[in-house]
Amino acid sequence: MSILRGKNSPFCILRRFNNLKNFAHDSTKTSATSASATQAPSPGTFTISGKPSISVPQDTVKVTLQKPDMDVLVDTTTISRQMVAEQISKSIAFDNIPGPISLRIIHRIWGMVPILSTQITGGAIQYFLAVGSLLSWSGNMALFKRFFDHYGPVVRLHGPLGGDIVMVSRPEHIAAVFKNEGPYPIRSSLDSVEKYRLQHRKLRHTGPILMFGPEWENFRKSIEQPLPQLIARQYDKIDDACNKFIARIANIRNRQEEVPGTFQKEIYKWCLECMCLVTLDKKLGFLDPCGLSSTSDPGVLLDGLMKATKAIQRCEYGLHLWQFLPTPAWKSLVENCDAIDNVLSKYVHRIQVLIKEKKEASDGVSKEVNCLMENVLLKPGIMVEDAMTILLDMMLIGINATAHTIAFMLYHLAKNPRCQVKLYNEIARQPKKLSKDALAAMPYLQACIKETLRLKPPIPLLGRILNDDLSIYNYHIPRGTYLLMVTSLSSWREEYFEDAHKFMPERWLTPIDDMQLFASIPFGYGAKACLGKELAEMQIGALITKILRNFKIEYLYGDINSTNKLWAAPNKKLRFRFAERV
């Protein structure tokens, strides 16, 4: 009986989901208030990018749609509120959205058992994906594709007692979701991390990935504003880490000039070294030529992060039994997140001391902010425990996504030698010493990064709890619904990308239309889009440039695909051959 009463009881889980739904309801009001507070627009003003747009008459809604690359405004549409309401009133009822019958039956059964959570449906999908071969589905995105092929572009998966999931994958439908989301989007994911932080650690916040509303906005600004300047300033240190990585490749190659199957771990180490430089201004020595001792700070951090990633994936897959019982995956999550926290808190504490010293120092001492954590800790309203959650979130999402992109880019360049030669020629024309801006101005390099992210997006699904009622493909989808955007499928659509499954960086060298941009959004979109885009692009560019200057990359084994995990990782060992350039 106790499981029915505790914080994790089904009723509490349902209450939590309802709280999110209520926030979804209220945030439309909040967004109008916050917009009017900053620019005093008319009550009809509505913005997509989070920045208030020009006021429009009271009965209209101003929708400003920003390109996913965040640079240019591309589409400005004024829709009257009446039109939106009319569109919804003419829409086909939510109950008529097609979906798999078996889940409807399961829904009826679930309706009778006391386990309620939207995530159970999500978990079921993940579970079916994981056991795909048993069900004669071929894994990866195949199940999602099957759903869309069978039921059409909008699919409803019935969850227990109404915690349904609606799935879309067409760029125009994804764009419609983002148009609707307002300044405080809600992403519901990683329940296990939320439980770890709120219940196990008793922290006051869940961290930027999971938060929403004005407090999340404050967290986000503490990273978003200083990051571009800081990463430009840290370029030389990142370049130094690249040199160490080149030395490491030379060191670990065998007589065929192939790196060992553990090469993904080496990329992981390099990403961690860069992350610690930018966030803590600390060279931790992950790339030490003598290797890492398992008890050293970098050793514990590396091991902890890899194991925590695995544990989170295991918790998020399948039925969430850890909500009720201390499963092995839950125990591993707690153990490893605690270990990471122990190491990182030492360095965050040093930064606190440094801030204090700077405050007390007489004039003439440099008050320049050196790293991201210093900036975060100086921000009003942010406590040390908040800074720790920001740091861990950046590591969890940033290290995994960046490391996997580097791995896949090396793979695609190895499999497409003509693209590799073209990129090498572009690199050879550059001066030896590069910078963040110089990398951004290399068109073929940027095209190769975009193409890798299109073919192998490290985060293949984006989720939102709708802030407002929405009409997609003429179906009415009520606010509070959990909407899953299968963005990886949209980026493989033939109507937007010719020979969509081929690695063709050239496609990004000519102007592309707006919907094509929406078809491939590896960094997400809108107010909750990726915070580390610039950092990731600079890191990937700096390392690939350095590798190609020194080596020719080859890969002589079977095709590498993405795993269907939370973070899409390479499904095979990265046995690249790095042949010395002469």
452: contact with ligand HEM by CB under 6 A: no
Cα 96 from Cα 474, distance rounded (Å): 11
- Cα(470)–Cα(234) distance, integer angstroms: 44
Contacts of 367 (CB under 8 A, 6+ apart): 358, 361
61 binds ligand HEM (CB under 6 A): no
Q: Is 446 in the site for ligand HEM (CB under 6 A)?
A: no
Binding to ligand HEM, residues 284-303 (CB under 6 A): none
The residue among 182 and 524 lying less far from ligand HEM, judged by its C-beta, is 524
One of 10, 522, 541, 570 touching ligand HEM (CB under 6 A): 522
Among 68, 160, 304, 532, binds ligand HEM (CB under 6 A): 532
Residue 278: exposed, middle, or buried by beta-carbon count in 10 A (0-12, 13-18, 19+)?
buried
How many Cα atoms within 13 Å fall on the side-chain side of residue 28?
17
Q: Is 147 exposed, middle or buried (0-12, 13-18, 19+ CB in 10 A)?
A: buried
Q: Is 183 among the residues that bind ligand HEM (CB under 6 A)?
A: no
CA neighbours closer than 13 Å in the CB half-sphere of residue 379: 23
Contact region with ligand HEM (CB under 6 A), list: 15-23, 165-173, 328-336, 400-408: 400-408
Locate 286 and state its tokens: 């992950």
- Contact call for residue 379 and ligand HEM (CB under 6 A): no
- On whether 337 is known to bind a ligand per the annotation, the reply is no
35 touching ligand HEM, by CB under 6 A: no
Residue from the set 208, 480, 505, 541 that interacts with ligand HEM by CB under 6 A: 208
For residue 193, give the nearest of 389, 21, 386, 23 by alpha carbon: 389
Pick the piece of the chain touching ligand HEM (CB under 6 A) from 18-26, 103-111, 398-406, 498-506: 398-406
Find the shortest distance in angstroms from Cβ 549 to ligand HEM. 22
* 465 touches 21 (CB < 8 A): yes
Alpha helices in 117-262 (DSSP H): 118-130, 142-151, 171-180, 191-195, 214-224, 227-233, 235-252
> For the chain, how many residues are written?
582
d(CA 70, CA 47): 14
Interface with ligand HEM includes 41 (CB under 6 A)?
no
With contacts defined by CB under 6 A, how many residues of the chain interact with ligand HEM?
26
Per CB under 6 A, the list member of 530, 572, 575, 579 interacting with ligand HEM is 530
Q: Which is nearer to ligand HEM, 115 or 125 (CB)?
A: 125
523 contributes a contact to ligand HEM by CB under 6 A: yes
d(CA 122, CA 127): 8
Nearer to ligand HEM, 462 or 504 (CB): 462
Which residues of this protein are in contact with ligand HEM, per CB under 6 A? 187, 208-209, 220, 393-394, 397-398, 401-402, 405, 453, 458-459, 462, 522-525, 528-532, 535-536
Residues contributing to the annotated binding site for heme: 530
